[in-house]
Amino acid sequence: MNHDVLEKNLLRPATRSALDELTHVPGAQPRAPRGPLRTDQDVRIAIVHDWLVTYAGAEKVLEQMIACFPDADLFSLVDFLDDRSFLRGKPVTTSFIQKLPRARSKYRAYLPLMPLAIEQLDVSAYDVVISSSHAVAKGILTGPDQVHISYVHSPIRYAWDLQHQYLQQSKLTHGPKSVLARLILHYIRNWDIRTANSVDSFISNSAFIARRIKKVYQRDAQVIFPPVDVDAFSLCTQKEDFYLTASRMVPYKKIDLIVEAFARMPTRKLVVIGDGPEMAKIRAKAGPNVEILGYQPFEVLKDHMSRAKAFVFAAEEDFGISVVEAQACGTPVIAFGKGGALETVRDLSGPQPTGMFFDRQDAEAIVAAVERFDELAQRFVPADCRANAEQFSAERFRERLFAHVRAAVPALRGVTLPPYVQYVPNPPGLEHSEREGQHELPADLPRILAVDQSGVLGGAELSLLEIVKALRSRVEVVLFDDGPFRSELAKTGVAVNVLDAGVLKNIRKQGGSLPKGQALKGLLALVRATAQRARAADVIYANTQRAMVIGAVAGKLVRRPVVWHLRDIVSAEHFGGKQLAIIKWCARLGLKHVIANSAASAQAFAQLTQFDSKRIDVVFNGISAEPFDALRAVPQATLRERLKLPRDAFLVGSFSRLARWKGQHVLLEAMVLNPQMHAVLVGAALFGEDQYEVELHAFVAAHGLGERVHFLGFQHDIPACMCAVDAVVHTSITPEPFGRVIVEGMLARRPVVAARAGGVLEIIDDHENGILCTPGDAHALADTLAELRSNDELREKLVENGYRSALSRFGTQSYVDGVARILKDVART
């Protein structure tokens, strides 16, 4: 680059505003440069990124580039970011693809236009152009007096070595569309090679990618490993007996192979974190020793990475950030021996190993590697893993990148790397403690119409209440019945409308006559009223089955997508034949997406309806620990006195509405066998199940249990009731969709005993964080409770592990984030 040209252009930083037209004609006059961006720098810098739609590995590199050059201007094909904090508030100049139809969700479909689009971004007013490229960013047009440095995450993989895999996954192996796709990819390869000539200096994110660059472009590249936020992870030397894998569930990550391998090793436990289109396939391969947690927030991922015995990684990655993150926790890695992992993991052939490799991407090789790891586990020292990870820190990346750019640009050789300043997007004056206490709403959250059939505070309603509290500024609620639920919703400040459900109130899940005549008119009126309110919303969020039926029809009328939060196992054990038929009809008619509260619920729904598994997500219910933690200092004797419970007895609590399938009679039968214990039944007969309550009282009288069974009826303060008892039981005799009371019991720091069926199996690890019993078996329940009463060590273990798992897996933050993310994605499409 001409040094004199740079010297003439001191203090003239420039950018161009967002494009006013869909295309920019090459050769047209450039936009006038804007005023100076800073006074201590004389080189104008532009950073070009492929597309801005998420915050992943490439965006972490971009974040550190901006930290190195805080006054650089940003360019990208599209910018649909929700969380923009890593851009430090910078605006982004985008291409004409930003304005094309459905670009937000289908931007990849515009691949044939991307070479043209990147060439229309005008960076002619800049002295230095830094491209962050895994697709087309390196093709930005630069002149002879500009320095172009390209950080290449990979040459366009689906146009080069992954072309055949891309065509197979896109079902483009035969026919006219296949011919067209191959022609487009051929054109992109030619364009990709040609544009490599305009790059002055290549940087690769690994030696593996440097070899790719050499083979494709015939150019050498300096290796600068991408930044890993190792400071966000801390060294943990105490490991537990489970393995971990965490990734987006897409084919090339090979999570299915890891799960298949562990299914062949039933004595070894695997925890899987992540979600994606392969979720259903992976769940189908999982055995009882494989725990699939789905999407989890960072804190949960970090906790599992810290405690895992080893991190298993089966992908051929260009680099593999998660491999380094695991080592930052002191956790060794079992990885496929190809790609970037060979550069980030030290194997047993050298000193201070941090992991080991397997040489084939198949289940047999993974099994052999895990077995060998178990034999040699003492060779891996957590401190060595941490030390190896620190060489990939963000600070090291900034130092190396800045040095590379400074060496390539003579005018920068006297400039030093600016100090790293943590970007805080909150307005000045907001204290740290205030920021920590807020639940930050996702950007671009849609307008939501939440629909629920009930006015009582059941489990579904309590779960919806958590969503409304967090998203209340974007939510309106419609109920089909009045009651305590409306009052609780009103306290959040959300708008609540109660519609008259008429005869629908009398329809139960187990069956009954469908409405006819005048009743049908009432049904149609309910649909019309819901549809009217849905017009002002972007998405309808149905929280219960009856609400889903109304919502599906209303959504069809006003062309709004409908998301059903499925909180039931839709089987003949829970629903009547007519109700199941209606659910199948609604799935075909008007459901866009389903959120299931457990894998058991998701599987039953998929089997019944043949619904596309890609449109079903599992999001565990979120339950706040705050009301339980608030009672930690309150003596149990005080709580028992308040509830008029015996002070010194061993109390076993059941927390559920009184219904036969909830199995309170099983607990009463166990009490007959356990004369040293008392039973506390919290709940009322809510949905026409009064006869069952009569039968329970009759059983108590017939067996002389009057002094040892305490019916407390409906209670508002469930945390106080739970903290007053010594153990919590869940006695459902048919599979439970989730089991909210189990998590609540864990948060109350009480040992939990639950029926072994349905969603319960996704919450409890037997004799680790709770105990499982055969549904309906009073003798087994009695024996288990007797063991709990006499075994202090077991109770303490269950309490400690239960509380920890409840916090990490069923927190309100991850629950709200998961639901909000799905509603936002559905509203976009």
- pLDDT of 1 reads 41
**Domain-located, residue 261:** yes
The answer to whether residues 149 and 192 belong to one domain is yes
Helix, strand, coil share of the chain (percent; to 5):
45, 15, 40
Rounded average pLDDT over 747-754: 96
**CB 709 within 8 Å of CB 671:** yes
Radius of gyration of the chain (CA): 30
The answer to whether residues 101 and 87 belong to one domain is yes
The answer to whether residues 552 and 692 belong to one domain is no
**Residue 79 — pLDDT band, cuts 50, 70, 90?**
very high
Statement: residue 186 has pLDDT above 50: yes
> Of 651, 718, 649, 708, nearest to 683 (Cα)?
718
* Tally of domains within the chain: 4
Statement: residue 500 has pLDDT above 80: no
The answer to whether residues 247 and 193 belong to one domain is no
**CB 478 within 8 Å of CB 550:** no
Last residue of a domain, one of 169, 193, 223: 223
The encoded tokens of residue 160 equal: 């080069």
pTM comes to: 0.50
Could you tell me which residue, 36 or 108, shows the higher pLDDT?
108
Last residue of a domain, one of 192, 223, 254: 223
Rounded average pLDDT over 94-122: 91
**Domain-located, residue 120:** yes
- pLDDT of 443 reads 53
Statement: residue 21 has pLDDT above 60: no
Give the CA angle between residues 212, 214, 215 to the nearest 5°: 65
> Of 354, 370, 361, nearest to 339 (Cα)?
361
Residue 617 CB neighbour total at 10 angstroms: 21
**Domain-located, residue 439:** no
Cβ-based burial of 514 (10 A; exposed 0-12, middle 13-18, buried ≥19): middle
CATH classification at residue 701: 3.40.50.2000
Least confident of 390-394, 503-507, 548-552, 569-573: 503-507
Distance of alpha carbon 638 from alpha carbon 642, whole angstroms: 6
- The distance from CA 19 to its chain's CA centroid, rounded to whole angstroms, is 34
Statement: residue 428 has pLDDT above 50: no
End-to-end CA distance of the chain: 46
Rounded average pLDDT over 612-639: 90
Angle between helix axes 812-828 and 459-471 (nearest 10 degrees) is: 70
Tokens 């910018």, residue? 79
pLDDT tens for each residue of 48-77: 999 998 888 889 999 999 999 999 999 999
The answer to whether residues 631 and 614 belong to one domain is no
- pLDDT of 689 reads 83
**CB 529 within 8 Å of CB 509:** no
> Of 389, 401, 47, nearest to 205 (Cα)?
401
- What average pLDDT does the chain have? 86
**Residue 420 — pLDDT band, cuts 50, 70, 90?**
confident
- The distance from CA 461 to its chain's CA centroid, rounded to whole angstroms, is 22
**Domain-located, residue 423:** no
Statement: residue 592 has pLDDT above 70: yes
The answer to whether residues 553 and 663 belong to one domain is no
Tokens 């189990």, residue? 742
The answer to whether residues 492 and 591 belong to one domain is yes
Do you know the residue count of the chain?
829
CATH classification at residue 53: 3.40.50
The answer to whether residues 48 and 153 belong to one domain is yes
DSSP 198-266: G-SEEEESSHHHHHHHHHHH---EEE-PPPB-GGGS-------S-EEEE----GGG-HHHHHHHHHT-T
Rounded average pLDDT over 342-365: 95
- pLDDT of 243 reads 97
Query: What percent of the chain lies above the pLDDT cut of 90?
Result: 59
**Residue 34 — pLDDT band, cuts 50, 70, 90?**
very low
Distance of alpha carbon 569 from alpha carbon 822, whole angstroms: 21
**Residue 505 — pLDDT band, cuts 50, 70, 90?**
low
pLDDT tens for each residue of 232-264: 899 999 999 999 999 888 888 999 999 999 999
- The distance from CA 225 to its chain's CA centroid, rounded to whole angstroms, is 27
Could you tell me which residue, 8 or 541, shows the higher pLDDT?
541
Tokens 């999982």, residue? 286
The answer to whether residues 171 and 61 belong to one domain is yes
**Domain-located, residue 303:** yes
Q: Is 74 helix (H, G, I), strand (E, B) or coil?
A: strand
**CB 66 within 8 Å of CB 90:** yes
- pLDDT of 185 reads 84
- Give the long-range contacts of residues 609-613, CB within 8 A, separation 24 or more: 609/583, 609/584, 611/587, 613/279, 613/280
**CB 202 within 8 Å of CB 222:** yes
**Domain-located, residue 408:** no
- pLDDT of 143 reads 94
> Of 609, 606, 619, nearest to 584 (Cα)?
609
Give the amino acid at 263. A
**Domain-located, residue 414:** no
The encoded tokens of residue 419 equal: 């100090």
Give the amino acid at 348. L
Q: How many CA atoms lie within 13 A of 654 on its CB side?
A: 29
Statement: residue 469 has pLDDT above 70: yes
- pLDDT of 55 reads 82
The encoded tokens of residue 785 equal: 């409770």
- pLDDT of 20 reads 35
Statement: residue 442 has pLDDT above 80: no
Tokens 């009679």, residue? 665
DSSP collapsed to 3 states, 568-591: CCCCCCCCCHHHHHHHHHHHHHCE
pLDDT tens for each residue of 760-810: 999 999 999 999 999 999 999 999 999 999 999 999 999 999 999 898 888
Give the CA angle between residues 684, 686, 691 to the nearest 5°: 80
The answer to whether residues 92 and 214 belong to one domain is yes
Contacts of 541 (CB under 8 A, 6+ apart): 448, 449, 450, 451, 467, 563, 565, 823
Last residue of a domain, one of 160, 193, 223: 223
The answer to whether residues 239 and 309 belong to one domain is yes
Distance of alpha carbon 475 from alpha carbon 715, whole angstroms: 27
- pLDDT of 632 reads 87
The answer to whether residues 487 and 582 belong to one domain is yes
The b-or-e profile of 637-663 (16+ CB within 10 A means b, else e) is eebbeebebeeebbbbbbbbbbbebbb
Distance of alpha carbon 784 from alpha carbon 774, whole angstroms: 11
**CB 351 within 8 Å of CB 380:** no
**Domain-located, residue 27:** yes
Structural domain for 523, as ranges: 448-622+823-828
Distance of alpha carbon 486 from alpha carbon 523, whole angstroms: 21
